[in-house]
Amino acid sequence: MILFLTLLGFILSADSPIAVAAKKENRVFELRIYHCEPGKLNDLIARFQNHTTSLFEKHGMTNIGYWVPMKEDNQSLYYVLAYPDLPSREASWKSFSADPTWNEVRKKSEEQGKIVKSVESVFMNPEDFSPAIRPKASKKERVFELRIYTCHPGRLPALEKRFRDHTLKLFKKHGMTNIAYWKSVEKDGQQPRLIYFLAHESEPAGKASFASFGKDPEWIRVRDESEKDGKIVQKLESIYMKALPFSAYR
């Protein structure tokens, strides 16, 4: 009986293969970036806070997080939505766009001029090494860092292996909080990019963490071992952002 209960406890534990398989994330995610007309970012934020987020939920979309870059000259809103699948995404946006309430809100909010200048959209699938994407607010104020890696041709699997086996643990060791990891869905079957969010106590704290991470002998060993067949990362983008008050992640 004791042996049976021990085995049962392992099966139900968070680290068991069965539990991990049960937690597999099958949702489709979308990173959307709205670049605003000059001076219109606050109008866009107000529209999202007062109307858009609730209308998204009404039409079957899940709000994951909303952020704005910490550089004041970057007048953009970054946010992530989740959907059960791509057909659901298309149906949700179609019904949202036709919603009389949304059309009234949009018209009224743009009486003094257009708000959004351009929109970027990136579909994303969760990486198998990502923490569970279950938004929550921290008791302490923190900043978020969006990092996007473009790999040399054919090198994404090597990057994924490095993150899966080593990098996430080393990030945690150096005071960073792993939030979520995805790979992008690119047009024409191009190689996906690795897209992820980290959380830090502050921007200076984040930069200090990466400085100590970069000097860590274990990281240097892992990096050199993983790059025996050539460099992996071709381009790295990093943006420090603050979460908006209505963001699920903050």
Report percent pLDDT > 70 for the chain. 91
Kindly list the domain boundaries of the chain, sorted by start residue: 28-124, 128-243
3-state SS string for 51-95:
HHHHHHHHCCCEEEEEEEECCCCCCEEEEEEEECCHHHHHHHHHH
Calculate mean pLDDT across residues 220-226.
Answer: 97
Q: For residue 9, is pLDDT > 60?
A: no
Averaged pLDDT for residues 35-60: 97
Render pLDDT for 105-134 as a digit per residue (tens, 0 to 9). 999 999 999 999 999 999 999 999 999 999
CA-nearest of 238, 220, 228 to 176 is 238
Model pLDDT, residue 205: 98
pLDDT at residue 8, as a whole number: 41
Q: What is the mean pLDDT of the segment spanning 222-233?
A: 97
Identify the pLDDT of residue 71: 87
Please name the fold of domain 128-243: Alpha-Beta Plaits (3.30.70)
The yes/no answer on whether domain 28-124 falls in CATH 3.50.50.60 is no
The kind and range of the H/E element at 37 are none
Give the pLDDT confidence of 161-203 residue by residue, as tens digits.
999 999 999 999 999 999 999 999 998 889 999 999 999 999 9
Cα 172 to Cα 24, 91, 203, 233, distances in angstroms: 22, 39, 16, 21
Angstrom distance (rounded) from CA 175 to CA 82: 28
Instruction: Evaluate whether 28-124 and 128-243 have a shared fold.
Output: yes
Q: Is the pLDDT of residue 20 over 70?
A: no
> pLDDT at residue 19 above 60?
no
Band (67; pLDDT cuts 50, 70, 90): very high
Share of the chain above pLDDT 90, in %: 85
Mean pLDDT, rounded, of the chain: 91
Q: Report helix angle 100-109 to 86-98, nearest 10.
A: 60
pLDDT for position 23: 60
pLDDT band at residue 1 under the 50/70/90 scheme? very low
pLDDT for the residue numbered 12: 41
| Chain segment 140-165, per-residue pLDDT in tens | 989 999 999 999 999 999 999 999 99
- 226/237 Cα distance (integer angstroms): 21
What pTM, to 2 d.p., does this model score?
0.89
**What pLDDT does 2 receive?**
45
